């Protein structure tokens, strides 16, 4: 985390959440250019515990809280359940609390009216019991101001998130998607990803555009020996002037991912980092970050 925060801080302001008792260590790990704030957490997944920031037509900032509940009460969240509200208070921006439960990692938005997400983590009794897809979509439209919602199946119960979209499919820009899977994979994950690609191939976005998809295969020959090590490249962070993405030690796969991302983001530098410790815990760079738009 410290290596990642320090790298991002070279290009944009970075704020790190930590209880004050951890600030000495955090300062040592993050360096002098990361701002530390006293917001206690249970874990590091700011994409899910933090708010989803929105702006109105006048450019004023607000924070939407999707009521983090430990990915369906799978994990302790005594502190994490308050992170979104605490960040909104710390930033001094308007705060909205949604009527549904979900996480930022379960949302992909193109900035032009289109939202992509999975059934598996939103239409799920561990988050939104008794609510239909239509009811959840209505709340998402109201909370985020989106115009079109595209639903993909996702995978239930195979990971703590119930199949977050940001592990496999990312919106590069309106009409352009990046997808990622394992070469030769025949698992449930692979089957659902293939089904998702078919749905997206037939779909159009809020402006009537069809989707172009670029696949970046996941790494296979990696440093870590953890059986559940997450080795996909989709979970990158888009920063000011840079893309932050992992390198796993699989030289051909790392090089291919770097080249593909550079083509997708020609106006940004591709910064690759060894952040195995983050990925060994089941998430990635996108999962531990949450961007705040400029106002």
**Contact of 63 with 93, CB cutoff 8 Å:** yes
Which among 290, 256, 271 is positioned nearest to 178, based on CA atoms? 256
Residues near 289 by Cβ (< 8 Å), separated by ≥ 6? 4, 8, 46, 47, 237, 244
- Residues identified as active-site: 287
101 burial type by CB count under 10 A (0-12 exposed, 13-18 middle, 19+ buried): buried
**What tokens does 186 get?**
């025949």
Distance CA 234, CA 144 (A): 23
Angle at 146 between CA 145 and CA 151, to 5 degrees: 140
């Amino acid at each position: 985390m410290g290596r990642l925060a320090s790298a991002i801080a070279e290009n944009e302001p970075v704020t790190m959440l930590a209880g004050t008792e951890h600030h000495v260590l955090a300062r040592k790990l993050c360096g002098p250019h990361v701002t530390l704030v006293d917001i206690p957490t249970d874990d590091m997944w700011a994409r899910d515990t933090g708010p989803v920031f929105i702006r109105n037509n006048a450019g004023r900032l607000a924070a939407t809280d999707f009521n983090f509940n430990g990915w369906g009460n799978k994990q302790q969240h005594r502190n994490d359940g308050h992170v979104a509200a605490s960040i909104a208070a710390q930033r001094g921006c308007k705060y909205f609390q949604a009527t549904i439960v979900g996480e930022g990692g379960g949302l992909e938005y193109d900035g032009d009216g289109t939202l992509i997400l999975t059934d598996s983590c939103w239409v799920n009794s561990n988050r939104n019991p008794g609510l239909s897809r239509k009811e959840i979509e209505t709340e998402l439209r109201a909370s985020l101001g989106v115009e079109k919602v595209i639903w993909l199946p996702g995978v239930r119960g195979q990971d703590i998130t119930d199949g977050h979209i940001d592990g496999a499919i990312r919106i590069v820009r309106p009409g352009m998607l990046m997808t990622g899977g394992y070469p030769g994979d025949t698992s449930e994950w692979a089957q659902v990803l293939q089904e998702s690609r078919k749905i997206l191939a037939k779909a159009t976005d809020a402006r009537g555009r069809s989707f172009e998809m670029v696949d970046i295969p996941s790494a296979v020959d990696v440093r870590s020996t953890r059986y559940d090590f997450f080795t996909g490249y989709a979970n990158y962070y888009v920063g000011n002037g840079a893309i932050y993405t992992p390198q796993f030690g699989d030289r051909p796969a790392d090089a291919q991912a770097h080249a593909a991302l550079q083509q997708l983001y020609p106006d940004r530098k591709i910064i690759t980092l060894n952040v195995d410790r983050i990925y060994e815990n089941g998430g990635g760079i996108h999962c531990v970050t949450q961007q705040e738009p400029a106002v």
